[in-house]
Chain A
């Protein structure tokens, strides 16, 4: 592996019974990146993350995480990775300090007491350290869980849908923290299905049905899909939206308030639609650069909820 890749895996495959949950998955995560891991529910994101951190063994494929073999050295990986599970996974009947202290002991940390106190102060929970973790609000639980998996100062942070069910303010705070960690040199792999979170990532991988559809630096994703977009403004935009959805050549129509973003992969056909629209003179059509938002809507439209797909 090259030195600047924190995770580098090839052909990872995992089956549960007859169901292939992860199917020949490749991934390269550069050092220091915020790597967004996107995909609908049940697409295999959690399973992939568990394989990366040594909790699951892949049926096929190999690779390294932090330079350790994911098949043979899960113990070394666990020592150097911080993994935040989807569910709140600290002990609700232990206090905040007891939880952090327990985690510190699991990693046999030196200077544990000082690290716990420091973490409590950074969290702003120093005066509530004796409170039971179960009594915290959703946002605080999330921040505490993040502090717990950062306690041993891992070089790689794996976050599995860390902000599910957390209010927008808490999510923003959470992402400020992620960016702060990233600036400090921590590599972050984060799975999400919030678009506004995906746009915060430097790199993106999109997974559906256990297969990777696309991956690359965030700003290159729309270009990789080959998406062309027009911005449309004008009266009775709702009616136009419905009309455009059934127009050939239009891949998708996304509405942002009073504005429509009309996208498609066939530039010529889309342009013809735009010309026709302009000829009617009702709306203002403007060609624009396709952005991540359009790209995600396009990807998600292509892969609907995976549970329905797999049940068939």
Chain B
């Protein structure tokens, strides 16, 4: 009954051989840490810079220009253009094409000179409070520098008041800056990605692994009948999950839902379909349920880390944003936040829908190329 090193080494060696043969597990053992290292090390930045900013410039005097160029120079803001009306600015914030809108009121320069301490309005998309926080924090410093640079000489003496102008920050969509308001709508994208992809992949691979698929396709059944029949039940699971989720978001976290229900419904359906298609694609790549689980998990990591769910999308470098853009969760997450928090209508979410549709087309083509009715 003594411990035999020879037997122990035999088991050890066998385990290594099997590990090496199971290529998916092996790839994941190496791939997951590398991926996490790259993402956490290089891609994630909780202090995002170059956030898209629009300026509504009703007065373009030297002080106003100094403020704008000071914002640009700070690195936090990237001035991407000007708007001519408040409605235009609001629309850009709702769509997500801008994170900030700076409003310089008419007669700003004159009022500064008269010492009336006029007000600059900085509207902030606070639906992602982390992303906006640093930029908002930098704003008083930027204003002070602008004053110091421009208000010298005559105007300086004219504007004797301690504050030549003030900056009012208007947090939109999440006035209290609650993290849960940002996280909860995004979580739906992750939950659906997790369950829809994994369940579909495993359900299909199970038939192949157990040998029932061969008998099934030996009957006159058509591939479309098998696929739809297998997938629709999980679509219903997705509906139930979403319903439970929305109720919990409202009752437990008091997350508002102010946008168009129809817009949400459309977006949510296309997102479920894209995830099912991805699950289907994974099933065609897996030989066992275990592999299907592993590959699903592998696709889930970027959905969590690079979609803007946990860390601000704007803070990631270009390459990471490019990967993030290819992930359906990124777009559904934006869509959900827009609809729930920003009151978006269908036209506001059109770009996100289009992006998901493109990703879906690619996945479906890849899946169909991998799937064959016959066994060869």
Contacts and interface: CB of A to CB of B under 8 A. Distances in A.
A90 B219 contact: no
A56 B375 contact: yes
Contact of B217 (A14, A55, A103, A108): A55
A53 to B, nearest CB: 6
Contacts of B375: 50, 55-56
Contact of A75 (B212, B215, B220): B220
B218 interface: yes
Contacts of B221: 106
Interface residues of B, number: 14
A55 B374 contact: yes
A83 B215 contact: yes
A175 interface: no
Contacts of A194: none
A184 to B, nearest CB: 22
A85 B219 CA distance: 12
Interface in A73-104: 74-75, 78-79, 81, 83, 85, 87-92, 103
Contacts of B218: 53-55, 78, 81, 83, 85
A252 interface: no
A92 B210 contact: yes
Interface in B165-224: 210-212, 214-221
B211 to A, nearest CB: 4
Contacts of B217: 55
Contacts, number: 52
Contacts of A78: 218-220
Contacts of A89: 210-212, 214-216
A278 B99 CA distance: 106
A256 interface: no
Interface in A218-250: none
Nearest to A16: B376
Interface string A275-306: 00000000000000000000000000000000
Please indicate which of the listed interface residues B211, B214, B215 has the most CB atoms of chain A within 10 Å of its own CB.
Answer: B215
A92 B212 CA distance: 9
Nearest to A80: B220
A107 B210 contact: no
A92 B211 CA distance: 11
Contact of A88 (B211, B219, B374): B211
Given A16-B376, A56-B376, A103 B211 contact: no
B220 A85 contact: no
B153 to A, nearest CB: 84
A115 to B, nearest CB: 15
16 contacts: A14-B376, A50-B375, A53-B218, A54-B218, A55-B214, A55-B217, A56-B375, A78-B219, A83-B215, A85-B211, A85-B215, A87-B214, A89-B214, A91-B212, A103-B219, A107-B219
Interface of B: 210-212, 214-221, 374-376
Given A85-B211, A85-B214, A85-B218, 4 more contacts: A55-B214, A90-B212, A106-B220, A149-B215
